[in-house]
Structure 1
Amino acid sequence: MLKLAAGLIRMLFHDCFVEGCDASVLLDGNDTEKTAPINSNLIGYDVVDDAKQAVEAICPGVVSCSDILAYAARDSTVKLNGTGWTVQGRRRDGLFSCADAAENELPLPTFNVSQLIESFARRGLSKTQMVILSGSHTVGVGHCDKFIERLYNFSATHFTDPSINASYAQQLKKDCPQAIFNTTLEIFMDTITLGEFDANYYKVLSEHKGLFTSDQSLFDDRSTR
């Protein structure tokens, strides 16, 4: 349940951040957002498809896929012991989807604070909203290839990123050896309470155990701490 619930939350973010919350990430076809490399690990498409089919059988043409995805992400948060919120409906589904838009607009795990602020500002989101939204990583996972550069040959002066807790870095190196690593291995971002939607993601950052550069930089930079 954890993997699917977290996947639906992530899918909603990836959908909303590109062309707005219009379910364009669900569209099939060549060069759609769904085919973008940055979306290659998204899961939960079948959940939205099944829900849409069930709803259409009762009230055809009324509830959009974008509404269903928003409801699914909200309910997933509650399932993981997070706080729910009121979801306003009546969204319209988008008819256009572009892989390049996803690649160019979604923030990367290698972003520093300045890049993150600029990326979120283009969506009309403040620094505070950015930090709050990043908290959803409390139920997130990362793959070795997304942070491997922090562990080995980080810079001319530091072999390993000095912002990583030393013992945590050693554990990550065991999970992701330099010579060859498992690209499908999933590392939990919140090492305190696995599978619960809580605030411990921020405590992890205070212990310098942020998995991605984009996570740890939120704590290390005074403007977002």
Structure 2
Amino acid sequence: MVGGPNYPVRLGRKDSFVSKAKHVNGNIARPTMPLSQIISIFNSKKLSVQEMVALVGAHTIGFSHCKEFSHKIYNFNKTSTYDPAYNPKYAEGLRKLCANYTKDPAMAAFNDVRTPNKFDNMYFQNLQKGLGLLESDHALATDQRTKPYVDMYAANQNKFFQDFAKAMEKFSIYNVKTGRKGEVRHRCDAFNSIAT
């Protein structure tokens, strides 16, 4: 629907009988985590650095709430109001957009400022120009472990699509539950026993 690659999705994956918020911490990357920790989380799911970068390319669509990056655009340090990793005009635009985020926590910015509703490789091109939104985005563009993949995907959309599709397929079968260890839910947001 938004122009991304096609890839096969296996049907019938079972969901757990347990769903607790406390199990999320340490299993999902947060935008303020150090890149080494993010790499470690993906590695624990048997995903390489390259596969991680490809999957993070999903930031080409969607948005993030201002509270997730406000510490990088307001009162950054004693010499700069914003993180110098940001393109100056972009930082100023974000500062205007998020001016009232403390009063309205729903305020958000697109992850991809140039083509926010299109799945393409513009996210990676943006990173090269200081147009990354999140702290983790800027880290991808500068860290020597990830920068080569950012540059490769920025230059070659077909390669990004190919690697994204492969990584999505691989991750979709990670830690699959079998037998009576889970259920195929009738509704994604409820256990079958209480689904209506």
2:61 corresponding residue in structure 1: 139
What do the CA deviations read for 1:143-202 (whole angstroms, capped 9, x no partner)? 110000001232355432111111100001101127845311221111121211111110
1: CA distance between counterparts of 2:25 and 2:78?
A: 29
**Runs of 4+ with >6 A deviation:** none
SS of the equivalent of 1:105 reads coil
Q: Does the C-alpha gap of structure 1 residues 115 and 171 become closer, same or farther in structure 2, counting only changes over 3 Å?
A: same
1:182 matched to 2:104? The reply is yes
Alignment check: 8 A CA contact 1:144 1:182 kept: no
Which residue of structure 1 lines up, in the alignment, with residue 17 of structure 2? 95
Q: Which runs of 5 or more structure 1 residues have no equivalent in the other structure? A: 1-78
Q: Is the partner of 2:40 in helix, strand or coil?
A: helix
Q: Which residue of 1 aligns with 2:135?
A: 213
Is 1:121–2:43 an aligned residue pair?
Answer: yes
Rounded Cα–Cα distance in structure 1 between residues aligned with 2:43 and 2:79: 33
Look up the match of 1:36. Answer: none
1:148 match: 70
Once residues 12 and 102 of structure 2 are traced to their aligned partners in structure 1, the CA distance between those partners, rounded to angstroms, is: 48
Q: Identity, % of aligned pairs?
A: 34
With CA pairs under 8 Å and 6+ residues apart, which has the higher RCO, 1 or 2? Answer: 2
Contact 1:144 1:181 in 2 (8 A): no
Q: Give 3-state SS (helix, strand or coil) of 2:24's partner.
A: helix
Single out whichever of 146-155 and 179-188 deviates more from structure 2: 179-188
Matches within 5 A, 1:149-168: 149-168=71-90
Please give the alpha-carbon distance, in whole angstroms, between the structure 1 residues aligned to 2:107 and 2:100.
Answer: 14
- CA–CA separation in structure 1 for the residues paired with 2:103 and 2:70: 9
- Choose which of 108, 123, 135 in structure 1 pairs with 2:30: 108
Relative to 1, partners in 2 of residues 1:133 and 1:173: Cα closer, same or farther, differing over 3 Å? same
Question: How far has the Cα of 1:103 moved from its partner?
Answer: 2.9
CA contact (8 A) 1:120 1:126 kept: yes
Q: Distance in 1 between the 2:44 and 2:76 partners?
A: 29
Q: Tell me how far apart the structure 2 counterparts of residues 180 and 90 of structure 1 sit (CA, whole Å).
A: 42
Q: Which amino acid aligns with 1:133?
A: L
Matched residue pairs, number?
147
The change in CA–CA distance for 1:84 and 1:220 in structure 2 (over 3 A counts) is same
Of Structure 1 and Structure 2, the greater helix share is in: 1
Q: How far, CA to CA, are the matches of 1:163 and 1:154 in structure 2?
A: 11
Gaps of 5+ in 2: 148-196
Shift of 1:209: 0.9
Structure 2 equivalent of residue 203 of structure 1:
125
